[in-house]
Amino acid sequence: MASERTLVIVKPDGVQRGLVGEIISRLERRGLRIVALDFRVIDPAVSSVHYAEHRGKPFYAGLVEYIGSGPSVIMVLEGPDVIRAVRTTVGVTNPAEAAAGTIRGDLGLERGRNLIHASDGAESASREIDLFFGDRMPLSYERDIDRWIVE
Ligand code: UDP
Ligand code: MG
């Protein structure tokens, strides 16, 4: 399958809890390639666009506050079927319901502190990569090991 890209955010709770390495490591160990990486406090102007689909919902104000409450790690990951693969590794939105073995299921307890964001489809991935990285294009490169990960 052709390579695709997805946007992943280790949210401020992941940074504060010292779980950046653990979370990136789980995704990297799946074989995914990091093609862009940034560390910054997400601006409300950006989070309001990123979470526009949730505007008006009861958790919206808390969500925008949470996502801007400290630095986040923002990255683009690449691999075959990466959008689906990452969502599976992340687990469902509510960590209390997320399967053991997933990032949210192993490391989180509540929806409002669920550690990580991952794009949910091709359209949102492309929109989110553009929103967070703009003209700072993700890199294209190969690793020697890729032929042992991708057929
Ligand atoms: N969220 C929340 N309460 C809810 C639903 C969502 O705090 O009842 C937050 C949570 O941080 C979630 C984000 O809003 O990750 C976006 O919600 P979405 O339904 O898109 O979940 P996701 O795609 O992150 O699994
Ligand atoms: Mg979502």
Q: What is the pLDDT of residues 75-116, one digit of tens each?
A: 999 999 999 999 999 999 999 999 999 999 999 999 999 999
DSSP codes joined into one string, the chain: --EEEEEEEE-HHHHHTT-HHHHHHHHHHTT-EEEEEEEEPPPHHHHHHHTGGGTTSTTHHHHHHHHTSS-EEEEEEEEETHHHHHHHHH--SSTTTSPTTSHHHHH---GGG--EEE--SHHHHHHHHHHHHTTSPPP----GGGGGT--
- 119 C-alpha vs ligand 2 centroid, how far in Å? 7
**Beta carbon of 59 within 6 Å of any ligand 1 atom:** yes
All structural domains of the chain with their residue ranges: 4-140
Mutate to test the pocket of ligand 1, among 8, 23, 50, 63 (most ligand atoms within 8 A of CB): 63
Classify domain 4-140 by CATH number. 3.30.70.141
Q: Is 117 a catalytic residue?
A: yes
Catalytic residue among 98, 114, 117, 132: 117
Is 0.95 topped by the overall pTM? Answer: yes
